[in-house]
Amino acid sequence: MKRTMILVMMMAAACLSFAQEKEPVNPENEKRTLELMKGDDPMRYRDMCELRDKHPHLYRRFMADETRKRRFMSKMRRRDPEVWKKFEDIRELGRKSRKLAEQYKQTSDQKKKAELKVELKTLLNQLFELREEKHKFHLGELEKEIVSLKKMIQERKANKEKIITRRLESLISEEPLLDW
């Protein structure tokens, strides 16, 4: 399990953008993120501590991503509490599913394994539905952004000469601009 989690973390860390790597996580935010993780998901916290000790570079990149996610969730909580609740439900069901899977692996009682498997499947069905809602929400946000970008492109195209003239003047002007 640990090995799998570390590999997943390493792959996630490899996907992070170069810009995030350049911005180190402030020690206060790192501490707060680890404390929250310790309470929310002790297994993940343990894996993060192991990653910190064995692969500090990957740990820093992963911590930057984790901190960014927590900032996003905080903004989402203020902006859209209903959507935030669904994100929290996804996280909670994910934690429960990992816990049930761990219990399943550790028990040798076949009857208990069968019960845990049924419970885990029910939970995974719920999790799947919530994740689909999350994907639909994300798609809606991307569609809004596309509309906004198309509008911006049209406005810039309509004002091309004005934009170029303004930039030209800023580049060749010998006097400092009085713009803000």
pLDDT, tens digit (0-9, with 9 covering 90-100), for 45-103: 888 899 999 999 899 998 888 888 888 878 888 888 888 888 889 989 998 999 999 99
Q: Where are the domains of the chain?
A: 1-79, 82-136
**pTM, to two decimals:** 0.58
User: Helices marked H in 41-173 — which ranges?
Assistant: 42-54, 56-79, 81-106, 110-158, 160-172
DSSP 55: -
Report the largest interatomic distance among the alpha carbons of the chain, rounded to a whole angstrom.
Answer: 83
Tens digit of each residue's pLDDT (9 = 90 or more) over 115-125: 999 999 999 99
